[in-house]
């Protein structure tokens, strides 16, 4: 028991330090605490700023359903009475934005919230309200919105709001401030021209003028993860993963103009955020151990800046680090080699013919190529692309395979065909030294779609570096005719540096063995079949996708968003009747599938692995379908920015 007292004392000292920093003797309350006072006036919130405050029950019960002056207040006056932070409120509003729009007259599942501050309840035009809301007789102001967001059913029993409420007082304050600021902008008030969700300081405006601004987190060039905690006798940020792993208040860096995403994880339960005032960026606060949020922005002018926690007292208690912005690097003088395979690059169907001997030439090449924008990687390839070439024979053919290993290769390479019956799938006879060539023949006995890959130890390393492809053994008589065939393979890439780091990346054997890829890719690189080589078809054309997983470790849940597969040749088998009406198909490493469908509506259809977190590491493709609208099947306007 005695050993526990120093730990408890240390934690208590940290809490005391935070309180003293927030309320220095004789110094009164901080500006932040004072600003929060109108909505959360309890003494507890003033003396324990790191804990989530709750509105007392009496406060909600005392809300007047129709404060006489609220309906007549201009928006600018309403904003002044709101205690929250509109910048943080913009992030909180994402929870609301699933059902509500801020566009005037645009009702979704819930009514438009444009101009909601100062409006009577149940009066949004053209929305079908519940009887309870129509009869509530409320005027929406800071007090009534706070009570409603605390517990919608308590304030208006019987209303149709499915959301249970925002339990954090800060979240409620902030989203109300955001709604009020939006109303003020709409009325041409003083906030017009401000950007909700950003910190509107001279420093922030300067950052925006020099190239800074908001971005989507999944488009960031540089990503960091920080966890809050107690170390070295103080409150700190602790780096998670990559080069900052385990560092206390690590120095974060980015180049001018780069997109930056910082994920903040609450490690000990107190309330925290992360603020970079010079970049005009501030995260919402995270409350409760394990809670997290992500802040995304674009780095502004070069220089040395700071990041810190803006909760009262936390910066002085130790939560501060350095953020360095380096000058924008000059444009590269040498273009990055595109190693990604165009999905339309595959041989045509085989005409009806008797079996014959087919010669196939493969060359193992080690090349530095584009992994992502501004990022290269040392790929090991078949014929200079990832995946290797799509090969096509018919059942009964004799395949005469010639494998050459480029003279400048550093490794022995080989090839194992899953379509081969015999030792190593051919790899036992095709281990080729740099500068050499070997050949063998094998007979295609069973129709199907098969993976091939390098099988030189360590086999997983060769595959992870890009040495995989597919071969189609057509049945006698071939496959049914389609309008378009595409060739897509999924793989993983294990780099030493975290996802998004620019420059030439080194392979990490440790991450491979731990099965911790930094990148998931279709056809070799980030953006290979979206930005570089999107699939293309027209409305009414039948599409067949030959899809395989090189791996080496992860199963794919292959899915095309907005389509249903008419036919699925499961496991790549072509002799069984295909499955019909399938939404998603699982494909194991070293496995394959052929799917067919006919797009009936124009638009962009996104190819994904439905383990959708992998999109954040590069795994997405696009099928662009052109043609006339088909309102009988899909009658809706595609919203901008949705990727469809």
468, 469, 465, 555: which is closest to 511 by C-alpha? Answer: 465
Q: In the predicted model, is pLDDT for residue 161 greater than 80?
A: no
Range scoring the smallest mean pLDDT among 259-263, 334-338, 371-375, 412-416: 334-338
Mean pLDDT value across residues 201-222: 50
* Beta-strand pair 592-597/543-551: antiparallel
**Which residue spans within 503-591 are E strands per DSSP?**
503-505, 519-522, 535-538, 543-551, 556-560, 567-569, 584-587
Residue 347's contacts (CB-CB under 8 Å, 6 or more residues apart) are: 390, 391, 392
User: Where do the H-state alpha helices sit in 380-535?
Assistant: 459-464, 509-514
Domain boundaries, given as residue ranges, for the chain: 48-186, 202-326, 357-626
Q: What is the pLDDT of residues 37-82, one digit of tens each?
A: 333 323 333 333 333 333 333 333 334 434 434 333 444 344 444 5
Q: Which pLDDT score, from 0 to 100, does residue 329 have?
A: 64
Q: Are 412 and 432 in contact (CB under 8 A)?
A: yes
Q: Which of 630, 611, 610 is nearest to 560 (CA)?
A: 610
The residues, any chain, with a CB within 8 Å of residue 465's CB and separated by 6 or more, are 378, 379, 380, 493, 507
Burial of 479 (0-12, 13-18, 19+ CB in 10 A): middle
Please determine, for residue 629, whether its predicted confidence score (pLDDT) is greater than 50: yes
pLDDT, tens digit, for every residue of 363-388?
999 999 999 988 999 999 999 999 99
Picking from 584, 586, 588, the residue whose alpha carbon sits closest to that of residue 597 is 584
Contact 503, 336 (CB under 8 A): no
Question: What's the pTM value of the predicted model, to 2 decimals?
Answer: 0.55
* Of 344, 343, 381, 345, residue with least CA distance to 362: 381
Spell out the SS3 assignment of 480-493.
CCCCEEEEEEEEEE
Distance CA 359, CA 356 (A): 10
pLDDT category at 109 given cuts 50, 70, 90 is low
* Banded pLDDT at 211 (limits 50, 70, 90): very low
Could you give the 3-state DSSP secondary structure of residue 263? strand
Assigned token pair, 331: 């444009």
pLDDT band at residue 492 under the 50/70/90 scheme: very high
Closest among 487, 243, 504 to 376, alpha carbons compared: 504
Give the pLDDT band (50/70/90) at residue 643: low
Tokens of 418: 């899953």
pLDDT-above-70 percentage for the chain = 78
Residue 409 near residue 365, CB atoms below 8 Å: yes
Give the pLDDT score at 95.
58
Give CA separation, 122 vs 101, 119, 285, 413, in Å. Answer: 16, 9, 31, 71
For all residues of the chain together, what is the average pLDDT? Answer: 82
Taking only Cα atoms into account, the Rg of the chain, rounded to an integer number of angstroms, comes to 30
DSSP letters, 587-630, are: E-TT-EEEEEE---S-EEEEEEESSGGGGGGT--EEEEEES---
**Model confidence pLDDT, tens digit, residues 327-373:** 876 544 445 789 999 999 999 999 999 999 999 999 999 999 999 98
SS3 state of residue 252: strand
- pLDDT band for position 229 (cuts 50, 70, 90): very high
Domain 357-626 has CATH 2.60.40.420: yes
Domain 202-326 and domain 357-626, same fold? Reply is: yes
Residue 51's pLDDT is 31
Q: How far apart are CA 427 and CA 401, in angstroms?
A: 11
| Polymer length in residues for the chain | 644
Bridge partners of residue 522, in order along the sequence: 490, 525
Fold (topology level) of 48-186: Cytochrome Bc1 Complex; Chain D, domain 2 (1.10.760)
Residue 628 has pLDDT above 60, yes or no: yes
The angle at the Cα of 642, spanning 637 to 644, to the nearest 5 degrees, equals: 70
Does the structure show a pLDDT above 70 at 539?
yes
pLDDT of residue 19: 40
Of the candidates 346, 407, 357, 303, the one whose C-alpha atom is nearest the C-alpha of residue 533 is 346
Question: Is a pLDDT exceeding 50 seen at residue 462?
Answer: yes
456 near 431, Cβ under 8 Å? Answer: yes
Q: What pLDDT is recorded for position 106?
A: 78
- Confidence (pLDDT) at 370: 95
Single out the residue of 485, 423, 480 nearest to residue 455, CA to CA: 423
* CA distance linking residue 244 with residue 227, whole number of Å: 11
Structure confidence by residue, pLDDT tens digits, 509-534: 999 999 999 999 999 999 999 999 99
Query: Sign (positive/negative) of CA torsion 59, 64, 67, 73?
Result: positive
The structural architecture, per CATH, of the domain 202-326 is Sandwich (2.60)
* Cα(62)–Cα(57) distance, integer angstroms: 9
User: H or E element: which one contains 206?
Assistant: helix 202-209
340 DSSP assignment: B
């Amino acid at each position: 028991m005695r050993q526990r007292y120093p730990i408890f004392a240390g934690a208590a000292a940290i809490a005391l330090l935070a309180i003293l920093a927030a309320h220095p003797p004789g110094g009164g309350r901080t500006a932040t605490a004072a600003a929060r006072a109108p909505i959360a006036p309890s003494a507890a919130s003033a003396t324990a700023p790191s804990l989530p405050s709750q509105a007392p029950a009496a406060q909600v019960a005392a809300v007047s359903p129709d404060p006489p002056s609220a309906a007549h207040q201009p928006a600018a006056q309403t904003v002044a009475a709101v205690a929250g932070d509109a910048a943080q409120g913009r992030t909180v509003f994402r929870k609301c934005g699933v059902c509500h729009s801020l566009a005037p007259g645009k009702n979704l599942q819930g009514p438009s919230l444009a101009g909601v501050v100062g409006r009577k309840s149940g009066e949004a035009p053209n929305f079908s309200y519940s009887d309870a809301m129509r009869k509530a007789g409320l005027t929406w102001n800071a007090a009534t919105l706070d009570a409603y967001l605390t517990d919608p059913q308590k304030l208006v029993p019987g209303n149709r709001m499915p959301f249970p409420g925002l339990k954090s007082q800060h979240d409620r304050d902030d989203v109300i401030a955001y709604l009020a600021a939006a109303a003020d902008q709409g009325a041409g008030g003083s906030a017009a021209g401000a950007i909700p969700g950003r910190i509107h300081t001279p420093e922030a405006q300067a950052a925006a003028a020099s190239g800074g601004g908001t971005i989507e987190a999944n488009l960031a060039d540089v990503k960091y993860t920080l966890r809050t905690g107690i170390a070295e006798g103080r409150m700190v940020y602790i780096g998670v993963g990559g080069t900052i792993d385990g560092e206390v208040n690590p120095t974060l860096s980015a180049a001018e103009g780069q997109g930056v995403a910082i994920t903040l994880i609450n490690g000990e339960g107190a309330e925290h955020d992360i603020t970079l005032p010079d970049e005009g960026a501030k995260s919402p606060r995270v409350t409760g151990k394990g809670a997290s949020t992500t802040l995304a922005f674009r780095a502004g002018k070069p220089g040395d800046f700071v990041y810190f926690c803006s909760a009262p007292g936390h910066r002085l208690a130790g939560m501060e680090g350095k953020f360095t912005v380096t000058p924008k690097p000059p444009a590269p003088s040498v273009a990055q080699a595109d190693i990604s395979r165009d999905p339309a690059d595959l041989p045509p169907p085989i005409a009806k013919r008797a079996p014959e001997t087919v010669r196939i030439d493969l060359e193992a090449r080690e090349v530095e190529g584009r992994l992502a924008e501004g990022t290269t990687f040392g790929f090991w390839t078949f014929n200079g692309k990832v995946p290797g070439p799509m090969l096509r024979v018919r059942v009964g053919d004799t395949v005469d395979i010639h494998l050459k290993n480029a003279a400048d290769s550093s490794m022995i390479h080989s090839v194992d065909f899953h379509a081969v019956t015999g030792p190593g799938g051919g790899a036992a006879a095709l281990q080729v030294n740099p500068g050499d060539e070997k050949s063998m023949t094998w007979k295609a006995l069973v129709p199907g779609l098969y993976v091939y890959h390098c099988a030189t130890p360590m086999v997983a390393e060769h595959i992870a570096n890009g040495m995989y492809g597919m071969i189609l053994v057509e049945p006698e008589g071939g496959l049914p005719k389609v309008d378009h065939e595409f060739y897509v393979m999924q793989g993983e890439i294990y780099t030493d540096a975290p996802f998004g780091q620019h420059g030439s990346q080194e392979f990490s054997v440790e991450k491979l063995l731990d099965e911790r890829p930094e990148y998931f890719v279709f056809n070799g690189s980030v953006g290979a079949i979206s930005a570089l080589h999107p699939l293309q078809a027209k409305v009414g054309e039948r599409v067949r996708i030959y899809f395989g997983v090189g791996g080496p470790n992860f199963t794919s849940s292959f899915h095309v968003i907005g389509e249903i597969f008419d036919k699925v040749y499961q496991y790549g088998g072509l002799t069984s009747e295909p499955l019909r009406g399938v939404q998603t198909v699982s494909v194991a490493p070293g496995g394959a599938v052929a799917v067919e469908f006919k797009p009936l509506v124009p638009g962009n259809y996104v190819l994904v692995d439905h383990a959708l977190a992998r999109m954040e590491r590069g795994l997405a493709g696009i099928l662009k379908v052109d043609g006339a609208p088909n309102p009988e099947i899909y009658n809706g306007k595609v919203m901008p920015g949705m990727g469809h």
